[in-house]
Each structure stands twice: as C-alpha cells, then as structure tokens.
Structure 1
Amino acid sequence: MSSILKEIKEALAVLSIPEKAVFFPKFFKTGKGEYGEGDLFLGVKVPDQRSVAKEYYSKISLKELSELLSSKYHEHRLTALFMLISKFEKTKDLSIREEIVEFYLNHLSHVNNWDLVDSSCYKILGRYAYETKKENLLRDLSESEEMWHKRIAVVGTMHYVKKGSFELTKEFVTRNLKHPHDLMHKANGWLLREMGQKNGNELIHYLNKYYTEMPRTCLRYAIEKLDEEVRQDYLKGRI
C-alpha cells in the first residue's frame, strides 16, 4: 500500500463513528438479497469524507484511486469518487478528462450503491457526455441489464437538465419506466421533478402522456413540487 493510501485510510478510520457503523448497513440495505448486500461500513459521515477528499485529491494517482475504489468499505469508495470528481473538475485538459471518464467506466462495478451513483455520475460522465456530445456513453448504460448502470444513465442526465436539455432524460425514463426495482422508480421520478423545476410545461406534458403507467413511487417523486390540487389530480387519476 502506498503512503498516500495509508494516510487516507487512517484519516477515515480516525473519523469513524461506531454508532454510524452500526446504522449505515441497515440504511443502505446490506442484508442478504438486498441491493447493498455485503457492503461494509466504517461509520464516517459524508462531510468528513469530503474533507479528506479535498485534502488528498491532488496527491493521489489514478492507480492509487483504483485500489481505494476497489475497497470493500463503502466510505473508501465514496471518498475515492469525491477525489475523482475533483480531479475532473479541476482540469481543463480534455485528454485528462477522457482518462478520468475511461477510469470511471472501467470501475463501474464499484459504483454500486445509490449514493455512490448519485454523487458522481452526472458530475463526471453526464458532464463529459454533454460537453462532448457523446450521449451514447449514457445511452449504452441505459440499455444495460445492470440496474446500477441504468441509474447511472438517468441520473447522469442531471447535467443536461441543469443546462435546460430534457430529451435524454425523457428517453431514459420512458425506456425504464416500468423497471421492477424501487430505486429506479425513485431515480426516474427525481429526474422528472428536476426537469419540472427547470420547465414546468415539460413535466406536465410528460406526465399527461405517461402518468397512468408510472409506478406510484415514480409519480410521487415527479409531482412533489406541484401545487397540492394538481398533485391530487394526478394521484387520483383525474387528469
């Protein structure tokens, strides 16, 4: 193990909170058959992980990040992703950004819980796809059989939504509208809600076409910011 990796792991270990180490496995569903099965936790809060990442991101190599991102401990992986995001955001060199995107895609098997996905995918993959017009990077993931890949794709379009571009979000939500997993229902509804925050007419138009087909969780997330009367109209099928 390199000295930098040792320092990072020791820094996270010092920040471990025993009560959190007990709570997190339940919160992130690590039991047998659950989506986070087998994941291990140190018990470090996210702000503390961000602080560690801020201190070390410029000092750690991608090779060392690969080892950290491959860790069995959840906080090691999330801290690694925070550092990867910083490396991506702090450089304007396209070749370095391409190297980081390739690294991210090659390590998707370790981006395997909703917080790991949601914290990283749109800041790295979504932004890169938008800026280089390489939507197929996300589209290929949306068509994958792997649930985490599908979530990376739709949440990755958050960067598009923030820029006022909605077609890719609608495409991915529609493709996986009836996915069996609740985590996809939540992600789809979340991105539709964010689209509505940017352009209410876009959301209403999409809802009017698809709301009767949506899983209830997806619909509730999507309409969360609408006026209560309108929310009830959708929930009760009065549109």
Structure 2
Amino acid sequence: MTLAKVVAKALADLVIPGKAEIMQTFFKTGKGEYGENDLFIGVTVPDQRSVAKEFYKTITLDELIELLSSKIHEHRLTALLMLVYKFEKTKDKIGQKEIIDFYLKHIKYINNWDLVDTSCYKILGRYCFENQDSKILESLSDSDDMWEKRMAIVATMHHIKKGKFELTKTFALKNLKHPHDLMHKANGWLLREMGKMNETELLDFLNLHYKEMPRTCLRYAIEKLDEELRQNYLKGRI
C-alpha cells in the first residue's frame, strides 16, 4: 500500500456519517455551481490537520500527487495541508523552490476556495515576499481562472502581515469588477485585513474606490470599522 493510500485510509476512518451531504451543499457542488462535481466523504478540517501532521514528514512530493489529484475534496485539502507543513519546515531555497514548482504544476487541483485560502499565502505569498519577486502572483492575478485570481489576492495576506499593502490594493483593483461573488468576498476580506493593520491605508483606498466596489466587497472591507463610518460608506455619504 502506498503512503498516499495509507493517508486516504486514515481519512476514511474519520468519516462522520451524514457530514458529506452537508459539505457538498456548503461548497456548492450542484450542477452549474462553482464546486460542481466535487466529492466529499465527510471529514472535519481539524481531523484532516491531524492526519496531515502525522504524515507530512514522511510523504514525498511524488506521493502527494496521488492525493492532490484525487476527486475527493478531503484528499486534496489534506495534501495541501501537508505541503504547507513541508514548506514551513523547509529552510533552504532549493527545497522551497521545489515545493513552489510542485504547487504551480498541480494548480488545477486547487479548485475550491478553502483549498486556495488554506495554502496559497503560506506557500506562494511567503515565497514571493521573502524573494522580493511578485511575478508569480501577478501572473495568477491576470489569469482567466477564478481560483488563480483568488490565489493572487489571498497570497498577499503574507505581505499584509509584514506591513506591505501595495500588491493587495493592485490586485483588488484589477479584479474589482470580476463577475463572481467569491472574488468580491476575497477582495473585501483582504482589504479588511489591510485595514486591521493600517486603517488609514484602507480609508484612503475606500475614499477613492468605494462607490464602484461591488456591495459584497464593500461590506467585507468595512466590517471592522466604526459603525457610523460603516453606515456612511454604505449610504454613500463620503
């Protein structure tokens, strides 16, 4: 039995009856929805983290492919969690670049918002920040694929945590009018995180752009502001 199959068996042993149906509804797996045809078996994220921590040190990148390319959502998420743990423990540049190349080569399997959000800023965001090279994220932001666009903006979470905001603002503006609500939420979320670090940066951005921002994006962005200020933005009084 391959190590990937051992991991899959460990996840199967943690299935909660009835949870898969709930997760398939939550992650919009119906016909025409963003997660169409995604399959769930019903394992909680904390349990997936536990499995990932147990196996990430011994599983190889080649073995991870079997899980990351699985039709089962929990297999892909657990694979990405293991990849994050591997990246966090890898100190040499060659090893980090190998993980980055692996991530990008198999990017088509990172195809739901939780898969993106769990992995991209801890891998791509950190790598691009530490190497002072935003080309990977710029390319993803220009992609026609929504998940790749979301990766670009969410990856800037690492930059925000380090007090750098320009990429976040650039990517938010570039895809401000994207047709999908999941991009509006991502843009608003990252702008809100920027505001938590530096409210002036957020207010300056809002004062220039809030009237053209989709409502969902705006609501997410202003969530942590003073209530009176929030209402002023929502009612267009600024």
Look up the match of 1:72: 71
| AA of the residue aligned to 2:129 | Y
Asked if residue 94 in structure 1 is aligned to residue 93 in structure 2, the reply is yes
Which deviations, in whole Å up to 9, do the C-alpha atoms of 1:49-83 show, x marking residues without a partner? 00000000011010010111000000000000000
Q: Separation in 1 of the partners of 2:9 and 2:202?
A: 46
Q: Separation in 1 of the partners of 2:184 and 2:155?
A: 15
Look up the match of 2:136: 137
| Shift in Å, 1:190 | 0.1
Percent sequence identity over aligned pairs: 68
Which deviations, in whole Å up to 9, do the C-alpha atoms of 1:163-216 show, x marking residues without a partner? 000000000000000000000000000000000000000000000000000000
Under a length normalisation based on structure 2, what TM-score does the superposition of the two structures give? 0.99
Provide the alpha-carbon RMSD of the alignment.
Answer: 0.6
Q: Separation in 2 of the partners of 1:203 and 1:238?
A: 17
Structure 2, gaps ≥5 residues long: none
Look up the match of 2:45: 46
Q: Separation in 1 of the partners of 2:34 and 2:161?
A: 29
Asked if residue 223 in structure 1 is aligned to residue 190 in structure 2, the reply is no
Q: Separation in 2 of the partners of 1:107 and 1:134?
A: 21
Look up the match of 1:161: 160
Q: How does 1:15-34 map to 2 (within 5 A)?
A: 15-34=14-33
Look up the match of 2:107: 108
Look up the match of 1:152: 151
| AA of the residue aligned to 1:153 | A
How many equivalent residue pairs? 238
Structure 1, gaps ≥5 residues long: none
Q: Separation in 2 of the partners of 1:199 and 1:235?
A: 20
| Shift in Å, 1:7 | 1.3
Look up the match of 1:193: 192
Q: Separation in 2 of the partners of 1:148 and 1:107?
A: 13
